[in-house]
Chains A and B, each alone.
Chain A
Amino acid sequence: MTLAAPAPSVSATALTALISGRRRIGLLAVAGLSLACLLLTIVAIGQGAISIAPGRVAEILMAKLTGDDALLQGRDVLVVLNIRVPRVLLGLLVGAGLAVSGALMQGLFRNPLADPGLVGVSAGAALAAAATIVLGDRFLTGTLMKLPFAVLPLGAFCGGLVSTLALYLIATRGGRTSVATMLLAGVALGALAGALTGLLAFISDDRQLRDLTFWSLGSLGGASWTKLSAVAPIILPLLLLMPLLARGLNGLMLGEAEAYHLGIPVQRIKALTILLVALAVGASVASAGLIGFVGIVVPHLIRLSVGPDHRLLLPLSALGGAMLLVGADIVSRLMVAPAELPIGIVTATIGAPFFLWLLLRRTSVLDV
């Protein structure tokens, strides 16, 4: 090929160094974050009303895993296994799910400011939750009434799915989903759901209003093995299937037509992404309430440090999101102990200033 290409040998060597350097950074980041996540998990399990040393926590966990029942004696064992572990696991799962959902939404919408709420899950879930809290007292009777904390998550989950489905149908014409339409329709639907939620708040009594407020600020407080076993099968598919989406989303960064030219099944990637995100976010909202900013903060931090390649971005976001939520949960438990600060307050207090900082250095993060 006759081009004025610069001396290829020198460039090729530099290129090889560049590629292997990049791969090394990626591996280091995955290994480092995994280790940090494990350590934070052990620390988090020890924190709370009864403080347990990390060494003891590790001991209990090892004993449980190896089936060594002789070591599983004492009050701290009960606290760790029945209260702390499900709570921290729920935090890991919800945090990972929210952060990966954020990374996926930003990729799918080709918009750095997209977050999981964009697919309409949060608005729909919040409306359904408000309806359950406010109208539940009036219309749910008998046994259902005795289970408000079973009805609420279910209602929120269904509300999230229904609104996502509505958005998807609005934005899909002739087998093609327009992400731009979905974005705009999401804003409209969000406003509508917000108004209706406001209306419900208006007609609610003091207790209902308090329930509503606390739910909308998020908490990992209600975690139990039962709750975890209900949530895990809904969030895990997202985390397990995300490697299938990574290449497709990389291609989508060039535009939908270009992704199609590269051989990527664009419509399948879009539908699968939306479905997995709706399920994962619906389950997160249902189990832990509205927790903002995890989906924005984490993916951007990862992009800043290792770049936007989804093959690395998605797993690192999962680890980062899990750590952020579990870390925020420690803060929420310690700040005003023995009471608990809603975790949404903690993540938003970290998230909002970060977001502003992001806007200030926009030239390097966003395409402007």
Chain B
Amino acid sequence: MSEPVVPILSGRELSFVAGGRQLVTDATLDLVCGTTTILIGPNGAGKSTLLKLLTGEIKPAGGRIDIAGEALTGVPAWRLACLRAVMAQHARLVFPFSVYEVASLGVDGIGRALTRQRREAIVAESLAAAGVIDLAGRRYQTLSGGEQQRVQFARVLCQLEAGRSVAERQVLFLDEPIASLDLCHQLSLLDMARSIAARGVAVLVVLHDLNLAVTYADHLVVMDQGRIIAQGPPARTLDDALLRQVFKVDLSLSRAPAPGLPFLLPQQHRSRPAA
């Protein structure tokens, strides 16, 4: 590490209050290009709220966020859309848009400077990459939950690709992107997230599956009750005490032989008497 790494996005001492409840407290987090950061924590820990703060969707009550060296609040919506793409948890559509139209939404806004051929090529590539090109003519609403999620992923890929003509360094936010996917698609989506990171994008993923989190994270962030209570490389961040404290499970981490990554077996939980 000869040169200091300049994060594309940095949040300093962020806090957010809603309805008198402190949802995020004093959260400090850097997202670095080329790195996959995975955010874990129990339900209600404030993961989605932190994600919304970092995407600019909601404004922090305290603290400061910089993206690409500028204060996030000063960046206009369209330029922000070139700098970062977001896949939210649920995206429901009201009218019968086709899969192709939904994916195109990613390039329609910020890709206006591109030629039509280029835009169509971007959409086709993204649909193919997300494995939904065969569904292109289908109505979005007739798809299964997992298929819809992959279409949303294709839309986000479109936006990243269109934004790349404006912004060299980008951030990708994925909020529980694999919640309704089968195992094969879970793994391939996370593989793709990592390959996007390898291309130089800073990727932030909210995940619930701890084994997948430690497998795919370069940087693991653990949240509980609105605070970031640990962050760092996965192997050094998770330990039994943290699991007990945060996730209220009395399990012990094991080590897989080859890469040395920790893993847990929930089966242990059943063999023990309730604490």
Mark A residues whose CB is within 8 Å of B: 1-6, 8, 11-12, 14-16, 18-19, 106, 110-112, 247, 250-251, 253-255, 257-258, 260-266, 303, 307-309, 364-367
Can you name the residue of chain A whose Cβ is closest to the Cβ of B158?
Answer: A262
A364 to B141: give the CA distance in the assembly, Å: 9
**CA separation between A250 and B88, bound complex, in Å?**
17
Contact A307 B133 (CB under 8 A): no
Q: Are B95 and A303 in contact (CB under 8 A)?
A: yes
New A-B contacts (19) at CB < 8 Å, excluding given A2-B192, A3-B129, A16-B120 = A2-B188, A3-B128, A3-B130, A3-B191, A4-B184, A4-B188, A6-B133, A11-B136, A250-B105, A253-B97, A254-B93, A258-B88, A260-B77, A262-B105, A263-B109, A264-B77, A307-B101, A309-B101, A364-B96
**Chain B residues with CB below 8 A from A254, complex form:** 91, 93, 102, 105
**Which of B86, B94, B130 lies at the interface centre, i.e. has the most chain A CB atoms within 10 A of its CB?**
B94
Judging by beta carbons under 8 Å apart, are A308 and B96 in contact? yes
Q: For B96, what are the chain A residues with a Cβ–Cβ distance below 8 Å?
A: 303, 307-308, 364-365, 367
Q: Kindly list chain B residues whose C-beta atoms are within 8 Å of the C-beta of A15.
A: 100, 124, 127, 133, 136
Q: Which residues of A contact B110 (CB under 8 A)?
A: 262-263
Nearest CB on B from A173, distance (A): 13
Contact at B77–A265, with CB atoms within 8 Å? yes
| Contact among B77, B84, B101, B131 with A5 in the assembled complex (CB-CB below 8 Å) | B131
In Å, the complex CA distance between A308 and B184 comes to 33
Give min CB distance, A156 to chain B, whole Å. Answer: 31
**Residues from 134 to 149 in B contacting A, C-beta threshold 8 Å:** 134, 136-137, 141
A-B pairs with beta carbons under 8 Å apart, 10 shown: A2-B188, A11-B128, A14-B136, A110-B94, A251-B105, A257-B57, A263-B109, A263-B110, A265-B78, A367-B96
Cβ-based interface call for B80 (8 A)? yes
Q: Which residues of A contact B195 (CB under 8 A)?
A: 1-2
Cα of A123 to Cα of B13 in the assembled complex, Å: 49
A367 & B94 in contact (Cβ 8 Å cutoff)? yes
> When the two chains form their complex, are residues A261 and B88 in contact, meaning their CB atoms are under 8 A apart?
yes
Bound form: Cα–Cα A356–B249 in Å: 54
- In the complex, whether B38 has a CB less than 8 A from a CB of chain A is no
Q: How far is the CA of A6 from the CA of B102 in the complex (A)?
A: 20
Cβ of B111 to closest chain A Cβ, rounded Å: 10
Top 4 A-B residue pairs of the complex, sorted by shortest distance between their CB atoms = A263-B81, A308-B95, A263-B78, A261-B86
- B92 located at the interface, meaning its Cβ lies under 8 Å from any Cβ of chain A in the complex: yes
Q: How far is B191's CA from A175's CA once the two chains are assembled, in angstroms?
A: 40
Tell me the bound Cα distance from A366 to B108 in angstroms. 24
Do A18 and B100 have beta carbons less than 8 Å apart?
Answer: yes
Q: Is the CB of A11 within 8 A of B134?
A: yes
A319 to B259, alpha carbons, bound, how many Å? Answer: 65
Q: How far is the CB of B96 from chain A (nearest CB, A)?
A: 6
**Chain A contacts for B133, CB-based, 8 A:** 5-6, 8, 11-12, 15
Chain B, residues 49-67, CB within 8 Å of chain A (1/0): the string is 0001001110000000000
Q: Cβ of A8: which chain B residues have Cβ within 8 Å of it?
A: 128, 133
Closest to A262 in B: B109
Nearest-Cβ distance from residue A221 to partner chain B, whole angstroms: 36
CB neighbours (8 Å) of A261 from chain B are: 55, 57, 81, 84-86, 88, 159
